[in-house]
Chains A and B, each alone.
Chain A
Amino acid sequence: MSAVAERRASDQTAAPRGRIDLHRVAKTYGQGRLAKTVMEDCSLTIEPGRLNVVIGPSGCGKSTLLRLIAGFDQPDAGAVTADGSPVRGPASDRLMVFQESALFDWMTVYENVAFALRAAGRGSRDIAPLAKDVLERVGLAAFKEKYPGQLSGGMQRRVELARALINDPAVMLLDEPFRGLDAMTRGLMQEYFLRLYADNPRTVVFVTTEIDEAILIADRLIILSNVPARVRWLVEIDLPRPRTVATLYEDDRANDIKREAIEVLHEEAMKSFRGAFRERASKEAVTAGSK
């Protein structure tokens, strides 16, 4: 148990790790006529020790951004650096929680969490107390012998959070972690996540498509443009904590931010439609000219 206490203490005293910089990053998928430029000349900074929320129209490259930060993909141009050194591949201090569930179905809740410890090279004597501690923190101690398939969607997400937290990564990358949950569970998970975060602060990049969720959670809100992704608008969410959906509803500042963010998002989302119209119009012009 003392190992856990020590680790938590060091969390609070050490300077925040996990600054991420993207410098003029470009990323294109596919080749030739199928090539799709998802990012172009994209520069942004993820501030260490804060909750950075990334929001943008669907398909704009949010997951791509996380994959680049995690090191699963390499940029075609520009650079991604973590605490000053270039990201060359996945590392256990930058932990990604995937958009789709990625629990190991053949392991119990406890084994899922313990696997993370073993993968990080922990001695077998540490594993039991650390796993027990993290499962208590996410309120799943009573479910440790269950298999993921036996849990509800909300509980599965909490197991993923536990598994992500247990090795104390400097950076946590969360790709729409609450997508697919019903509204009620989602609200509870958001509150839950904020409480968990308050006890375990670190650098977080949280991707979402829900503006309410973004404002509820964020220290810093990054709105991406339509594809190819660039930072379109960046705003400090300096609202007091703890926040709840109810307090934000009545908060003028929160509503101002929300209104402005929705306008920007709407404008960006419309671009993909307008882009399509323009393309069609120009094609029609070409065919008309050739007649």
Chain B
Amino acid sequence: MKNNLNSFPLSDKFIHDFGVYQADIKRYDNEKIALCRDQAFEHFLKIGLPTRNLEDWKNTDLSEVYNESYNHFYHEFEKVEDIDKVFQCNVPHLNTIMLAMLNGRYVSKDEQLKVLPNGVIYGSFEAALQQYPDLVAKHYAKYADYTKNGFTAINTAMAQDGFFIYVPDGIEVKKPVQIVNVIHHEHNICIQTRNLIVLGKNAKLTLIHCDDSYNHQKSLSNTISEIVLGENASLDHYKMQNVNNDSTLINFAYFHMDANARLCSNGLSLNGGILKNNNYVKMNGEGSECNIYGLYLMDRKQHIDNLVYVEHLKPHCTSNELFKGIIDDSASAVFNGHVIVSKDAQKTNAFQSNKNILLTDKAKVNTKPFLEIYADDVKCSHGATVGQLDTEAMFYIRSRGISEHNAQMLLMYAFADEVIQKISIEALKHRLEDMVKKRLRGELSVCEQCVLHCSNPEKEYSFEIDLTKI
């Protein structure tokens, strides 16, 4: 089998590796999942990696990534010497259940999968595949449609590990679960991670998902998360991205929502070479609500592409998108918001907003909020703005004695703050406030510590302009 379509070193390597390692890859699969992998692989052969000919990918140039020779793909579990040292979180007052991922592998001091007395299960996806094959098979590739894009196809075929969380009906996980996903390898590395999160009826979970890199090596990560919210379930989902400038994150989150479920997802992209976030939300029951927020601060040659695809299939659902970005130097940003309101989805509320500030002439934004409505009784709106810092406001602030630089900081921070204020965990919110201030001042150190490890927490007195509220 030769893939003539969209042949790149990267896709060739995927195809080659699947051929060589498929027995290993499938070693814990039940029949259903093994079959699923084969079908996904077949699809990959047909469609290849997405190129700029495709609408959803046309503003993101991945050719350099596709031509890069990543050293490392399929791999065994690596022994981690000192887990506590690599994975620690020093956010004051943030008390979480911490799950650690290193180079796409779940790492833990004790068992790979933990089962709590209340029935909550969390840990390694691979371990779940072994211990709960039916549960995994019930959801595997059910929401992540591998016929639609090559990354999802090849991930479905090849991914071995990731994190797995199961919350049974009626259970509320009180502590937030924090996943720290670190990329740290001596070689260029390509990782494919598969996450599955299942919330039963009336279940409740807060998830903090951090992507970090520890060094300056090139990396590509293709992550798929399938996230199921049962009836009346509630999920708060925070995604932090703070990786080095040579890292590419291709990230797919497939949310499936039943009746009266509530989702709040907040993506905070602070650093990274190429970030491509794809959020698919299927509102599959009446009365559900999703809020999808994003904040991105890009500079140098960084690029971010946020896609949010929301399908309203049933009546009385609300979706609300707010994405804000500040683009500096010759960085670029893309926003694609696509809301589909199907014929039966009467009384839908759908709002989309994307706002951007460009700080230089070279910074670029491409924004396309889009509504596709087939029902007649709906309330929908969409809007996008691309602008500079308000000159009237700049003059007003400076006329009170505040330097141009700090006036800019105040305005940029005020702009970003709207998204930060959506964070409902106080400790996390304060840390993000600090980090965003640091990032805007160009002081955020990446690759030293995880996004939440910030080695020098902002101190009140060292803060030239004190932006904290009293």
A binds B: no
Binding site for B on A (CB under 8 A): none
B residues near A (Cβ < 8 Å) are: none
